[in-house]
Amino acid sequence: MRYYYLKRDEPIWAGPMSRDQLAEAFDRNLLNNSSWVQWDNSPIGPIKYESIDCLYFVAHRDIAAGLPPTAYRTIEDMLAAVDRREIDMNSMVCKRAENAKPIPVTSYVRPPLKFDPAPWAFLDSRQSKNVTVIAGPNNCGKSFLLKSLQIELGQKGYLTLASRFHQGQFSRANPLSEQEKQQLYNSFVQQQLTANNNFDQVNNPQRVFQALDDEQRQLLASTVGEMLGVEVDLTQGAKQDTFTIDGDPIEITSSGVRLLMSLLATCMVSDYDVILIDEPEIGLNPRLQNALAFAIVDPRKRASLFGAVRRFIVCTHSHVFLDRSEIQNNFWLERNKKDVSIRQIQSMSEWHALQLKMLGNDLRSMFLPEAIVLVEGPSEQAFLEGCFAVTFPNHRVAVLDCKTETDMPKRLDDLKAAFGGIEQSPYTNRIFCVLDSKHQTHTGELRTRGVAQNHIVIWDHNGIEFVYPDRILSAVFSTSDRTLLQMDRNHVACNGVKKKKTELAGIVARQLKSDESWPDELETKLLEPLRKVLA
């Protein structure tokens, strides 16, 4: 948006200039808070500089009367003034945007949701970022947030919502004129602000598709062909356009293919600075989702395909579209009745938590263990596998035998190689290491390999046998007094009964019950933390 201001002592306007240039002129005392400021194609005339950051302007009774409008920073502020009867109900309201269309104040409805931060503030905070990814559960306000951001962007942005399936032929169409774009935007604003209406599309994506020039069509054809592994022909004929995929008319291809092509075409149109996309994953298999996400997030690919688009704002249910290169480009919406918080992801652990939320918080759906417990030997493995089977029957916990305590860091290195780094995997907070008391000197090596300090379990005594249930110890040794246990490297003896450690572990594991009473040490050090991870 370009601004002008009235020079002091001179009846002429200075400009055009950007918002930053206007602020610089203010700092140089070329204007003050009482100076008159105007933006391009403003239907409400000049305003005071002190109102420059306000978004809504009320012109009482007649917007053409020449009186300065009353400024309000947000729609909530304006509606509060309505409640206080400070605004005449015959007033017209105009939003700060180029070519904005004034509408009656009586037509405004209260926003169904309140965002924190407000949409305009959120948009301002993302001005320097090329990619913004917003996630959240159904009915948390993602689509409404996109619509609110589109209102703030005006004609600079293009909003493509979930209802973008094509119907009918791809007939020739001319690029949208500025007048048509203005009419479409005004129509969107009218419906979005003045009715309880879930408006599903700003304009016809077919028109955007037809508006591509020859170079863009060739780029679209090669890009889709590469993604699908097919030959795409977008030939512009003398009388009509011919669109085929592997020789077949595009009208008979799958809806997913047409969705992909129309979405790519939308992003290639050079008229828009910002593209807002609701659920780009719709109709696309995971491989195509990955290809589309790469095209949006990767700087080089994005520049080669969508060079004119400065920013993408995406709302998604798919973890594929999360920005892995800059985790703070990802946001999570949390709704409490009418209040919606927009929470920025700040750390890798938060990023993994978000990823798991979008996977349903369930690694079982991918046939993967939900947690991994590393132990020092076969006795620990046998007992804990039995313990977890009866304690967490609906969860899969992998127990890995590292043979010795010195091999545990090596096993973590193997996991790190498999996951591409523990800290960068969904298992960043799902790996536990269990050590005897005499082996706790290895904890530093475990922490440096990505295991959380509170997930390194060190028993008070030297042996898993000290956390076996009392009732089973009593059945085997006729006593549950653990101080009487005598152990060497391979055996356990008590009250004249001697068992191999692996044999005893098998006996104990087979007798475990779902309502077992566990020793406090086992419960507090391992089972309770594991229960929180699996919850």
Residues counted in the chain: 535
The answer, yes or no, to whether residue 180 has pLDDT greater than 70, is no
Q: Are 511 and 472 in contact (CB under 8 A)?
A: yes
Tokens 């290169």 belong to residue: 325
Domain boundaries defined on the chain: 3-107, 114-358, 363-534
Q: How far apart are CA 260 and CA 292, in angstroms?
A: 8
**Ramachandran sector of residue 137 (left: φ over 0; alpha: ψ -120 to 50; beta: rest):** beta
Q: Which residues contact 413 (CB under 8 A, 6 or more apart)?
A: 449
pLDDT at residue 198, as a whole number:
46
Q: What angle do CA 370, 376, 380 make, to 5 degrees?
A: 70
Q: Are 469 and 508 in contact (CB under 8 A)?
A: yes
Q: Are 426 and 366 in contact (CB under 8 A)?
A: no
- Residue from 58, 159, 75 nearest 118 by CA: 75
Q: How far apart are CA 442 and CA 409, in angstroms?
A: 8
Q: What are phi and psi of 486, to 5 degrees?
A: -120, 125
Q: Are 434 and 374 in contact (CB under 8 A)?
A: yes
Lowest mean pLDDT among 185-189, 307-311, 449-453, 465-469: 185-189
Which of the listed ranges 200-209, 275-284, 419-428 does the model predict with the highest average pLDDT?
A: 275-284
Look up residue 296 and give its two tokens.
């949006």
Element (H, E) at 344: strand 339-344
pLDDT at residue 440, as a whole number:
64
**Amino acid of residue 528:** E
Lowest mean pLDDT among 26-40, 215-229, 352-366: 352-366
The CATH number given to 114-358 is 3.40.50
Model pTM score: 0.62
Provide the pLDDT confidence category of residue 267 given band limits of 50, 70 and 90. confident
Mean pLDDT of 298-324: 92
Model pLDDT for residues 462-496, shown as the tens digit of each residue: 899 999 999 999 999 999 898 899 988 899 999 99
* Whole-angstrom Cα Rg for the chain: 32
Q: Is the dihedral of CA 76, 78, 84, 85 positive or negative?
A: negative
Q: Please give the residue that has the higher pLDDT: either 495 or 422.
A: 495
pLDDT at residue 169, as a whole number:
33
Provide the pLDDT confidence category of residue 204 given band limits of 50, 70 and 90. very low
* Alpha-carbon distances of 215 from 116, 220, 299, rounded to whole Å: 42, 9, 21
The answer, yes or no, to whether residue 157 has pLDDT greater than 70, is yes
Tokens 């774009």 belong to residue: 181
